[in-house]
Amino acid sequence: MRHEDCLFCKIIDGELPSAKVYEDDHVYAFMDISQVTEGHTLVIPKKHTINIYETDEETAKNFFGSVPKIANAIKKAFNPVGLNILNNNDILAGQTVYHLHFHLIPRYDENDGFDYKWTMNRDEYSQEEREDLAKRISQAIE
Q: List the single partner that 34 binds among Zn ion, ligand 5GP, none, CB under 5 to 8 Å by kind.
A: ligand 5GP
| CB 32 within 8 Å of CB 42 | yes
| Residues 73-102 interacting with ligand 5GP (rule: CB under 6 A) | 88, 94-97
Q: Cα–Cα distances in Å, from 141 out to 45, 118, 136?
A: 23, 26, 9
Q: How far apart are CA 42 and CA 74, in angstroms?
A: 12
Q: According to the binding rule CB under 6 A, does residue 30 interact with ligand 5GP? A: yes
| CB 97 within 8 Å of CB 7 | yes
Applying CB under 5 A, among 46, 47, 48, 101 the residue interacting with Zn ion is: 48
Q: List the single partner that 3 binds among ligand 5GP, Zn ion, none, CB under 5 to 8 Å by kind.
A: Zn ion
Site residues for Zn ion per CB under 5 A = 3, 6, 8-9, 48, 99
Active-site residues, by number, are 101
